[in-house]
Amino acid sequence: VSAPRSEVPRPPEPWPGAAPGEPAAEPTALAELADALAEQPPRIPSKYLYDERGSALFDRICDLPEYYPTRSELAIMEQHAAEMARALGPDATVVEYGTGTGRKTRLLLAALDRPCAYVPVDVAAEFLSAASARLAAEFPAVAVVPVWADFTRPFLLPPDVPRGRRRVAYFPGSTIGNFEPDEARALLAEMRDRVGPGGAALVGVDLRKDPRVLEAAYDDAAGVTARFNLNVLAHVNRRFGLAFDPSRFRHRAPWVDRAGRIEMRLVSTVRHEVDVAGRRYRFEPGDYILTEYSHKYRLTEFAALAQTAGWRTRRTWTDAEARFSVHLLET
Ligand SMILES: C[S@@+](CC[C@H](N)C(=O)[O-])C[C@H]1O[C@@H](n2cnc3c(N)ncnc32)[C@H](O)[C@@H]1O
């Protein structure tokens, strides 16, 4: 007896906005990785945390007792999505940067007055397709148009995306915190150009707090975040044919006060070398690779940053414990 067919419609084919996985894009991507590893300290861009396994691990992180950001942001959305929707108005086209599983998106789309289109943008192709299919099934009146792209590089939206009355960039999850302030400013400015005059943005921003709370959130007792971090090595190995040995690194996530951020690090436990794109990288015990920043802001700091990117902060919401914030920005 064959299993009943799933009622979930086929996921819309993602539009390859910048085709991150296309062979033509690989030499650039490999050169970018080699340059990042040559920095002091060496870096692996955080987008490589999100292959299929990494995305699944991140989804588990969202449910960990120590990882408050998801619960706090969901609480804000549950309590205030109706106000956000009133401020945004009817017939909006929502472009989401870094959708993941779209947990918060459902709350926004449900609150909005007749949203016209939803455009999730993500590098993680499998999760993008699955989230798009779920949201398309849940919101049949909304045109769901996924875009598979790296939003740190120029990318295109498909020409047939309905414009709606207003374009809204949605950027939850404090993913903005993964960028240095200059990069965050550039990304906010790119969003402003993308939504155009009269457009808006809703940005989830994690707030400064007790470093013990922060460090626990990025180094949980069950070790899920450690697996998530180490998985970046398996991902770049597979993608670029490299030979990083994950067993030679340990996960660490200290709060770095002068930079106002958590730094996810992979600390080498032994002296060893790894070749990348014809260059040799040496690691001594204690040397580390930076895999992700997670900047934490004060409300006023973020408003000032948004202002330098050409945005006006119209409203800000926080959760009851003032751990997390959502900012409504207007052009
Ligand atoms: C911190 S998670 C947030 C997921 C979700 N928005 C949430 O709030 O739970 C970051 C998401 O952004 C995506 N992402 C990270 N860097 C990206 C990039 N450069 N371009 C496109 N997507 C990216 C990841 O695949 C992941 O889905």
Give which of 279, 293, 215 is closest to 33, Cα–Cα.
279
Which of 250, 257, 68 has its CA nearest to residue 173?
Answer: 68
206 C-beta closer than 6 A to ligand 1: no
Residue whose C-alpha is closest to residue 81's, from 100, 105, 117, 107: 107
- Cβ of 232 less than 6 Å from ligand 1: no
Residue 117 alpha carbon to ligand 1 centre in Å = 20
Instruction: Give, using CA atoms, the residue closest to atom 11 of ligand 1.
Output: 98
Q: Give the Å distance between the CA of 92 and the centre of ligand 1.
A: 22
Ligand 1 contact via 72 beta carbon (within 6 Å) = no
| Confidence at residue 23, expressed as pLDDT on a 0 to 100 scale | 38
DSSP state of 8: S
Distance 182 CA to ligand 1 centre (A): 19
Mutate to test the pocket of ligand 1, among 63, 175, 235 (most ligand atoms within 8 A of CB): 175
Please report, to the nearest 10 degrees, the dihedral formed by the alpha carbons of residues 150, 151, 154, 157 taken in order.
Answer: 100
Ligand 1, residue 103: give the atom nearest the CA: 9
Q: Please count the other Cβ atoms lying within 10 Å of the Cβ belonging to residue 154.
A: 10
Cβ atoms within 10 Å of 109's Cβ, excluding its own:
23
200 by Cβ neighbours in 10 Å (0-12 / 13-18 / 19+) ranks as buried
Give the distance (Å) from ligand 1 centre to CA of residue 277.
Answer: 26
Q: What integer pLDDT is reported at residue 270 of this predicted model?
A: 98
The number of the ligand 1 atom at minimal distance from the alpha carbon of 73 is 8
CB of 132 closer than 6 A to ligand 1?
Answer: no
Residue 18 has pLDDT above 80, yes or no: no
Higher pLDDT, 211 or 159: 211
In angstroms, the Cα distances linking 18 to 29, 146, 187 are 12, 12, 16
User: Between these two residues, 146 and 15, which has the higher pLDDT value?
Assistant: 146
The pLDDT, as a whole number, for residue 14 is 60
- The mean pLDDT value of the chain amounts to 92
Say if residue 20's pLDDT is above 50: no
- pLDDT, tens only, 198-243: 999 999 999 999 999 999 999 999 999 999 999 999 999 999 999 9
Best mutation site among 46, 50, 325 for ligand 1, i.e. most ligand atoms within 8 A of its Cβ? 50
What's the whole-model pTM score?
A: 0.93
Span from the CA of 38 to the centroid of ligand 1 (angstroms): 24
Report how far ligand 1's centroid is from the alpha carbon of 148 (Å): 11
> Does any ligand 1 atom lie closer than 6 A to the CB of residue 14?
no
